[in-house]
Amino acid sequence: MRELTEQEIVRRKKVEKISETRNPYPERYEITHSLQEASQLPDETKDVSVAGRIVFMRKMGKLSFLKLRDIDGDLQVSVKIDLIGEDEYEFFKSNVDLGDFLGAQGEIFTTHTGEKTLRADKIVFLGKALRPLPEKFHGLQDPELCYRHRYIDMIMNEETRRRFKIRMKFIQELRNYLDQLGYYEIETPILNSKASGAVARPFVAHHNALDMDVYLRIAPETYMKRAVIAGIPKVYEIARCFRNEGIDATHLQDFTMIECYQAYYNYQDNMKLIENMLKTIIQNIFGTLTIQVGDKEIDMSGEWPAVSFRDLILKYANIDIDVVNTKEKLLEKIKQEHIELESDTPIEKLGFGNLVDYLYKKVARPHILTPIYLTEHPISLSPLARANDDRPEITDRFQLVVNGAEIVNGFSELVDPQEQERRLLEQATLKAQGDEEAMEMDYDYIDAMEYGMPPISGWGMGIDRIVQLLTGSENIRDVVMFPLMRPLDKNK
């Protein structure tokens, strides 16, 4: 059992003392205003009731000041012996600590230093913190401790609270935008019998009741398209997805994304929709289309250009993928140029499309700052996308790239079931040959397609990734409230 600190022992004794006169963990408290709302009230507003966690406290003889906090703001409270009574003031001074929860009722006034304050005529103890908060001037600074103890991070660090408010506001604005355009939000399965919907390595679990292996959802794509088949022409889902791949500053294995599909659209229609949607959301949240990322300013205004895979790789690596257009030729050229690709799968086992993708990520993507649409993806990289009518070796696909990160992926969907079956069989062959990121055959999806599909375009966007960009966060875990961490050895 963990050894208690001196402060923790003292706080536990205070719980015993509080229990003699009242419940140290009461069931409820009636508030009239949030802390933020109360801080905006005019002076002399009476009967204001608020509650929050105490993050600052200065106890004095007959008058004390404290600060209550929640995610939206702080409010100063004055506690005076003449207003709350001698017994309650003594209880406050003897038993209330930083980190405890407190309710306060009274009148709003402004101090001589200009700070809105609640002059309490009644206080109610609402919960004891058995552990002390970090030292108030430094908070919680170690990144790993912030990830492991996000609740403390959010209590102590204003920047953390700001990031998660932006994340919540972004999702709210995203829903509002699509809902107003007539999209329906649906839910699709997280456990699947096939690892389908994207090119990625899946997580595998076992379903005891059905006695079968299942895959955690890589992407909701094939079920979203089933919804279009079912007669929902505009559909989206904000979905938790899981990809058993590498972890770095812009990748997590479990993440949140939105996928959105519209019948009768093509990929160029969706490029216009996304540009307008993101500009609208960013303007609504920040009041500007210029975002700050570290020491860089990124201007999201203006028209977002489309640039091909070929042009980017030619520009940054002097390799023409229209010339070295097979796996063998491209692999030889990459080795000749001494380019080291970062792949969990040995590059010799990757197909042509994945080789092109890894090459682009290595040589070109880090140079991209302002928004561009990456286009003309090799068909083997996009087994669910529609082939271009004029150049069948590429697909009608795009990726929105900003500041070296892929924010949105979308394309005109493949709706021909016979062509889809052929491509998935090719993917299954690649998987059998060792490409762990290739897709499996999914005949259930083919069956659904054979009932007929209209023209469709769809797109997906990583919520964590776009919020990381908008908040200028160095690591994607900075914008995930409770990221998965390797367990600590409790015996140490």
Residue 383, Cβ neighbours under 10 Å: how many?
21
Whether residue 354 contacts residue 362, with contact meaning beta carbons closer than 8 Å, is answered with no
Q: What is the pLDDT of residue 136?
A: 60
Does a structural domain hold residue 163? yes
Asked if residue 384 has pLDDT above 80, the reply is: no
Asked if residue 427 has pLDDT above 90, the reply is: no
Q: What is the pLDDT of residue 135?
A: 78
Q: What is the pLDDT of residue 410?
A: 95
Asked if residue 138 has pLDDT above 70, the reply is: no
Side by side, which strands form the sheet with 191-192?
191-192, 212-216, 204-207
CATH number, domain with residue 125: 2.40.50.140
Does a structural domain hold residue 151? no
CATH number, domain with residue 172: 3.30.930.10
In this predicted model, which residue has the larger pLDDT, 189 or 487? 189
Q: What is the pLDDT of residue 101?
A: 98
Q: What is the pLDDT of residue 462?
A: 95
Distance between CA atoms of residues 201 and 243, nearest Å: 6
Number of domains in the chain: 2
Does a structural domain hold residue 411? yes
Same domain, 325 and 436: yes
Asked if residue 74 has pLDDT above 80, the reply is: yes
How far from each other are the two terminal CA atoms of the chain, in whole angstroms? 12
Nearest to 301 by CA among 311, 314, 291, 313: 291
Q: What is the pLDDT of residue 105?
A: 98
Asked if residue 383 has pLDDT above 80, the reply is: no
pLDDT band at 174 (very low <50, low <70, confident <90, very high): very high
Q: What is the pLDDT of residue 460?
A: 97
Q: Please identify, among 133, 166, 193, the residue that sits at the C-terminal boundary of a domain.
A: 133
Joined together, the tokens standing for residue 53 give 């966690």
Does a structural domain hold residue 141? no
Asked if residue 386 has pLDDT above 80, the reply is: yes
Q: What is the pLDDT of residue 246?
A: 85
Give 444-474 pLDDT, tens digit per residue.
999 999 999 999 999 999 999 999 999 999 9
* Residues spanned by the domain of 53: 6-133
Q: What is the pLDDT of residue 434?
A: 83
Does a structural domain hold residue 219? yes
Give the global pTM.
Answer: 0.90
Asked if residue 440 has pLDDT above 90, the reply is: no
Joined together, the tokens standing for residue 492 give 């140490």
The chain-wide mean pLDDT, for the chain, equals 93
Does a structural domain hold residue 488? no
Q: Per mean pLDDT, which of 90-99, 326-335, 379-388, 422-431 is the most reliable?
A: 90-99
Residue 28 one-letter amino acid: R
Mean pLDDT of 202-208: 95
Q: What is the pLDDT of residue 139?
A: 67
Mean pLDDT of 340-364: 88
Q: Comparing 24-38, 74-88, 100-114, 377-391, which segment has the lowest mean pLDDT?
A: 377-391
Same domain, 246 and 356: yes
